[in-house]
Structure 1
Amino acid sequence: MFSKKSIRNSFILQLVLASTVLIVIFSIILYNYIKISIYKDLTNSLKKEAALVAVSKSSDLNQLGVNLFDPELSIQDLKVKTVIRVDAKTKIFFEHSTRNNQHYLRIYYPLNKAKALFISITKNISDTDKLLNEILKNILTINLIAIFLILFYALFLSRMLLLPIKSLTMKLANMNESFLQKIDLRTLPEEFVPLGKSINGLVKRIQVFVEYQKELFIGTSHELKTPLAVMKTKNEVTLIKKREPEKYIETIRSNNLTIDEMNKMISNILEIGRQESAHFEEPIKMDLVKFLKEKLNNFRILAHQVEKSLEAEISPDSYIIKTQPTLIIHILQNFVQNAIKFTPIGKSIIIKCYEEDNGYVVKVIDEGCGIDEKLDLFAPFKRYGNKSGVGLGLFLAQGAANAIGAEISLKNRIDASGTIATLFIPEDKKS
């Protein structure tokens, strides 16, 4: 039996069923057309014969002194057709009959409509019926052959249609984290191009994630190894000879500060793990404008605590998207926290949110020292400016943006008195 879950078997079954129905309908139409044509020729032939009898035989019989319209007359004895009286009939009509397994077609042709006298001509159509039966058998045989041919064609066609899928499957099966290659869309049939684009998008995301992991592991190893080496060196130097208690206390305090920094780093690495879990959250439909307004109220409180102000310009009244809100908040928190960190006391942070033709834009504008746009600001463990930090914030924000299909960027203000952090959510996320 065909599996209900098999697209190929479903395609074969539907193609064969549809073709069979069309063949049967066409065969019925063809057989009836042939049958009607043959019977039409028969009836026309009988009409012509009856008309000739009506015209010519009357004069012949009258010359013999025979009354053609005598109901008791047996014309068959005179080798002509029978004349009969039919009540309530004025037009030509036909009658089918069967005797001794023979089929007959009889015509009643009017001679005198007023007296309801008709010529009756009977023709044996057994051979015609046999011919029609042979035609029907041949049509049925051709139908069976055609159905088998269609079945084989469906099997062949389904195999051909599955070739692109098998090719894609082979390419995907040969991929791993060390060998990720995009599919050449030019080699795919037009119908499979959207699938190829989706696979290429997935490959790109995997490539970004693999690079992201490599950078993270290398950076983590370096950032943890360096302070440990410094701590060990300090301890070894301190233990070379006897020192005053204050020197030991100083070394321990210095090591404790280093440990605190390492704890911060480990906390950020744990945050990366939580963010990666958020990557697998089910996207939900949400009102982005309402979401932003709720979060901005919290950000205002943070800014006010450090004697800075936060202003917001948000439009339109509503903007529905389908995404992962946890990742959106990761990006916003990083932008706003950096803006608060680098903005001097008494200055303002401005947040502008608006819709564009091809998506939605969120901009966080600060009044800080600006950035060096030539540097890779999104690399892990890279710290810029004169503020403390682990250097994973923008790296996390970049990973979150890649996960939701958004884009983030940093650039200096035109007046060079601050930085503009931009989040762009493309229109295809709009629900």
Structure 2
Amino acid sequence: MRTAYKERIARRLTWVTALIILIVFVLIYLVASFTVVRNIDYELQLETDKHKDQIFLVNGEIRFLHMDEWEEMEHSQIQLNPIFIEIVDLEGKSKDRSPNLRENHLSFSPEKSLKNEAWTQKIGASEVRTRQIPLYNAGKHEGYLLLAKSFDDTRELLDNLRNVLLVFYPMILISLYLTMRYLAGKSIEPIQEIIEKTNQITQKNLNERVPEPELEDEIGQLTRSINDLLGRLEQAMKREKQFTSDASHELRTPLSVLRGTLEVLIRKPRTSGEYEQKIQTALGTIDRMSAMIDQLLALARVENAKNLVREELELITFLEEKADQISSEQKRKITFQSQVSLPIYITTNEKSLEMILDNLLHNAIKYSPEDSDIFLRVGKSGAFPYIEVADSGSGIAEAHLEQIFDPFFREKEALDQGIPGTGLGLAIVKKLAQESQIKLSVVSKKDVGSTFRLDFPSQS
């Protein structure tokens, strides 16, 4: 059974507060009990101090010091809460007791007198607080003086306090739970509004956003995070639609060329030279389609790749060999330059880095005049290794610098000049760089050239 979030909040807060209130109530009861018992013990101490030097046991007989004054003092006091007194010998046999004890006796406990402490005992149906002190005569221990004071009123007070706390405790918990539930419901109202709004947003209206509150609190942060997520989803959907549209367009064009070429071939008999020319055209179209499909598959593999295996790679040797390889394959001079003399070791995926460099170097060759220089540089900026691929070709217009990494984007000038390409190479480079945690940047000036830079994380 699912429980509403406001219910869970209310229960948790109520349980925590219930524990705190329980601790407070227990402390109140213990403090009250300690205070009233201490006051009674203090009064017993005063009575003990008053009587201990006035009563003696001499050879088992009770003697009073200044008997007349003692009786006069006792009879002159109005005792709303009387003191019970009993005198016993060393064996605990009663020698005398106050009339208010009637047939009852106070509890005799010699060890209590040694600890100088009071205790609670029952006398008939009543409860009293008792204290006991030894009686001496000429330094000789003759017996004990037992004094007690009624504990009934104190017990009634403590019981009433306990009952009040026990009655109020569940009432407070119920009120607290209802209050917490109401406040929790009011607190999550903005979240419910966010839920209702996000449930209304579908693929058809991804441009809509959740209204953002004015307060800079957690709800505001949640709303902005959801809106940022919707923005990213909207952009991803747009890129996907654009990618699908561009891919279908790019594939449709060579297919149309291939179909047109074949239709021309079957209209009437041709000479062997014409057949050869048309077949060459068809093969060229198929090659371009194959290259595009290979690039699309490569881009899909990059987007689906997870946890690329990274190994240690010595960068200078790797780049020098790559420059020689591309120079040999493309019949173009690529100048390798190292800005450091010591080896540079990085941890990366070698195949990903190789694909990045292949695309960047092929682009540099493709968009540069045959007699221009192409440079492959390596160096370190502090603890951060970097690679640069620089050319002195046609360059990129500043307005297009952000678009060149989008799939199928190609400048109109390149299309007009008939420079071959699919517009997927730099998209693959960007994806691979992101997967390998490499920072990719470009500096370019029209008709001057471009420099693509790869900055690696610190290897220390």
Counterparts in 2 of 1:189 and 1:406: CA distance versus 1, 3 Å: farther
In the TM superposition, what are the counterparts of 1:13-412 in structure 2 within 5 Å?
A: 14-53=12-51, 61-62=67-68, 74=96, 76=98, 89=113, 93-108=117-132, 114-116=139-141, 119-156=145-182, 158-160=184-186, 162-163=188-189, 165-181=191-207, 186=213, 190-191=217-218, 195=222, 198-234=225-261, 243-278=270-305, 281-282=306-307, 290=313, 296=319, 299-305=322-328, 306=331, 307-313=333-339, 331-342=356-367, 344=370, 347-352=373-378, 354=380, 363-375=388-400, 376-379=403-406, 380-382=408-410, 384=414, 387-398=419-430, 408-412=440-444
TM-score by structure 1 length?
Answer: 0.73
Residues in 1 aligned to 2:338 and 2:371: alpha-carbon distance in whole angstroms? 18
Q: Is the 8 A contact 2:444 2:451 kept in 1?
A: yes
Q: Is the 8 A contact 2:316 2:343 kept in 1?
A: no
Stretch deviating more after TM superposition (183-192 or 382-391)? 183-192
Deviations 1:254-296 (A, max 9, x none): 2332232222223222333323322xx2578x58x84866864
Matched, 1:421 2:419: no
Residues in 1 aligned to 2:343 and 2:165: alpha-carbon distance in whole angstroms? 69
Structure 2, unmatched stretches of 5+, are 56-63, 72-85
SS at match of 1:104: strand
Q: Is the 8 A contact 2:87 2:96 kept in 1?
A: no
Deviations 1:62-104 (A, max 9, x none): 5799xx999685253699999x997995785423211334211
Stretch deviating more after TM superposition (71-80 or 160-169)? 71-80
Residues in 2 aligned to 1:139 and 1:32: alpha-carbon distance in whole angstroms? 12
Residues in 2 aligned to 1:21 and 1:119: alpha-carbon distance in whole angstroms? 46
Residues in 2 aligned to 1:362 and 1:8: alpha-carbon distance in whole angstroms? 56
- Aligned partner letter, 2:120: H
- Aligned partner letter, 2:249: H
Deviations 1:32-83 (A, max 9, x none): 1000111122122333344455688956625799xx999685253699999x
User: How much has 1:392 moved relative to structure 2?
Assistant: 1.9
- Aligned partner letter, 1:138: V
The count of corresponding residues between Structure 1 and Structure 2 is 416
Stretch deviating more after TM superposition (72-81 or 292-301)? 72-81
Stretch deviating more after TM superposition (135-144 or 370-379)? 370-379
State the identity %.
20
User: How much has 1:128 moved relative to structure 2?
Assistant: 1.8
Residues in 1 aligned to 2:351 and 2:235: alpha-carbon distance in whole angstroms? 20
Q: Is the 8 A contact 1:334 1:394 kept in 2?
A: yes
Deviations 1:107-147 (A, max 9, x none): 33567584456543222212321321221122223223333
Q: Is the 8 A contact 2:299 2:427 kept in 1?
A: no
Residues in 2 aligned to 1:411 and 1:28: alpha-carbon distance in whole angstroms? 74
Residues in 2 aligned to 1:320 and 1:251: alpha-carbon distance in whole angstroms? 50
Which structure's CA Rg is the greater one?
A: 2
Q: Is the 8 A contact 1:183 1:196 kept in 2?
A: yes
User: How much has 1:187 moved relative to structure 2?
Assistant: 5.0
User: How much has 1:31 moved relative to structure 2?
Assistant: 0.8
Counterparts in 2 of 1:95 and 1:236: CA distance versus 1, 3 Å: closer
Counterparts in 2 of 1:374 and 1:21: CA distance versus 1, 3 Å: closer
Residues in 2 aligned to 1:142 and 1:240: alpha-carbon distance in whole angstroms? 102
Residues in 2 aligned to 1:395 and 1:328: alpha-carbon distance in whole angstroms? 14
SS at match of 1:127: helix
Counterparts in 2 of 1:125 and 1:366: CA distance versus 1, 3 Å: same
User: How much has 1:240 moved relative to structure 2?
Assistant: 5.8
Counterparts in 2 of 1:403 and 1:349: CA distance versus 1, 3 Å: same
SS at match of 2:398: coil
Deviations 1:204-229 (A, max 9, x none): 44333222222222222332333344
What root-mean-square deviation, in Å, do the aligned CA atoms of Structure 1 and Structure 2 show? 4.9
User: How much has 1:19 moved relative to structure 2?
Assistant: 2.7
Q: Is the 8 A contact 1:110 1:118 kept in 2?
A: yes
Structure 1, unmatched stretches of 5+, are none
Deviations 1:135-165 (A, max 9, x none): 1122223223333344444544554555455
Stretch deviating more after TM superposition (207-216 or 28-37)? 207-216
Q: Is the 8 A contact 2:87 2:144 kept in 1?
A: no
Counterparts in 2 of 1:36 and 1:345: CA distance versus 1, 3 Å: same
